Amino acid sequence: MTITLPKRIRSSLNNNDMPALNYNRILGANWLAVLLFCWFGHTTVYAQPDWQVDPNNFEHSMSIIGTVWLNGQELNSEGALVGAFIDETCVGVAQPLLFEATGRYLFFMVVFGNSEHIQEPIQFEIYESGDPVSVQGNLLAFEVDGTIGNVQEPFIIAEPKLAAETDILTFDLGPGMLDVQIENEEVKVSVDISTSLSTLPVSFELSEGAILSVESKQWISGESILNYSAPLKLQVFSEGLFHLKEYTLTVVQERDAVDAHNFISPNGDGYNDFWEISNPDRLANYEFEVRGPEGKVVFRQTGYSIPWDGMFKGSVLPTGTFWYVITNPATGRKLRGFITLIY
């Protein structure tokens, strides 16, 4: 017997041709596949579960268009099955079928139920080979004439659950980068003015399972090189490609600009007790050096995680004018200035 899906499912396909489903084939009444695996000389026989549904036993139905994921992989085998259960009674069975309009394997399931099943949780099990795998959590409740999912946005059944986050956690354009800000779906990067915008390799970290693409091409962290002379649209897809967040990437060239105070008064009153530098986090690889009036180095450090307190090896220095040199390791450019030390 062949059953064509209800009209409410067909309409959700946007008038695309939809394959009719062989009900016996889906339910496994006359179609049981035996899969043989040989492991260390032993043969184990697995059979499809005998999940069957008789529509005559039910008053109502709902429909689901979805996709099935197991251990982070989308199932694309017509030998796989997904079963729906209410109170351990099988109320729906389907198998992934290739839907050529999208190139993806989707399942088209009719879930049956009676009045006492309304709003009862539907549990799902996935079969690929071996024993069926139960999907953790209550994903749906039975709804009379409900329609869940469509071809463009299929309902997801996954074990374990797919990550849904689409965040750019870090973004790095290499040694010439001066600063990066990621907020409000914008990535703003400043690089040294001597840095070519056409040859920058990018490194980044994303949410678990997410991928980053530009102009429909996936970016690979540490490998992709693009021209950044104009703003770019970044697309971050969640695991399974079901959620999308778009970012605008802007890269600008700037001269090194370090906002270093030129006054220090280490007298313990809580004001100007340290040599202050704005945004020290962006200068983590820079070399800092301070010399006294006679040219002696009194402070030297990579990065500025520990600010200079106006002393040299724990000893108080005399008042006067001190000179600093801050070196950008990527370009070798040196920024020079003076510091007045008083008490």
Residues 101 and 68 in one domain: yes
Residues 97 and 10 in one domain: yes
Residues 150 and 208 in one domain: no
Residues 152 and 10 in one domain: yes
Q: How many domains does the chain have?
A: 3
Residues 45 and 155 in one domain: yes
Question: 6 with 110: CB under 8 angstroms?
Answer: yes
Residues 140 and 6 in one domain: yes
Q: What is the CATH number of the domain that holds 197?
A: 2.60.40.2340
Residues 16 and 150 in one domain: yes
Q: Report d(CA 91, CA 57) in Å as an integer.
A: 10
Q: Report d(CA 95, CA 107) in Å as an integer.
A: 5
Residues 215 and 270 in one domain: no
Q: Report d(CA 146, CA 195) in Å as an integer.
A: 57
Among residues 205, 232, 254, the one where a domain terminates is: 254
| DSSP letter for each residue of 267-284 | SSSSSS-S--BS-GGGGT
Residues 51 and 153 in one domain: yes
Each residue's pLDDT tens digit in the chain (343 positions)? Answer: 233 344 443 444 444 443 333 333 333 333 232 222 223 333 344 578 999 999 999 999 999 999 999 998 999 887 899 999 999 999 999 999 999 988 889 999 999 999 999 999 999 999 998 899 999 976 799 999 999 999 988 999 999 999 999 999 999 988 778 778 899 999 999 887 778 888 888 999 999 999 999 988 999 999 888 889 999 999 999 998 888 999 999 999 877 667 788 899 998 898 999 999 887 877 888 899 999 988 899 999 999 999 999 999 989 899 999 999 998 886 677 888 899 999 8
Output the pTM of the full model. Answer: 0.57
Q: Report d(CA 234, CA 206) in Å as an integer.
A: 12
Place of tokens 């251990």: 71
How many separate helices (H) and strands (E) can be counted in the chain?
2, 32
Question: 129 with 100: CB under 8 angstroms?
Answer: no
Residues 101 and 177 in one domain: no
Q: Report d(CA 338, CA 332) in Å as an integer.
A: 20
Residues 179 and 153 in one domain: no
Residues 139 and 86 in one domain: yes
Among residues 254, 276, 307, the one where a domain terminates is: 254
Q: Report d(CA 7, CA 110) in Å as an integer.
A: 12
Among residues 233, 254, 275, the one where a domain terminates is: 254
Q: What is the CATH number of the domain that holds 311?
A: 2.60.40
Amino acid present at 39: W
Question: 173 with 251: CB under 8 angstroms?
Answer: yes
Domain limits for position 203: 168-254
Q: DSSP alpha helices (H): ranges in 61-211?
A: none
Q: What is the CATH number of the domain that holds 80?
A: 2.60.40.10
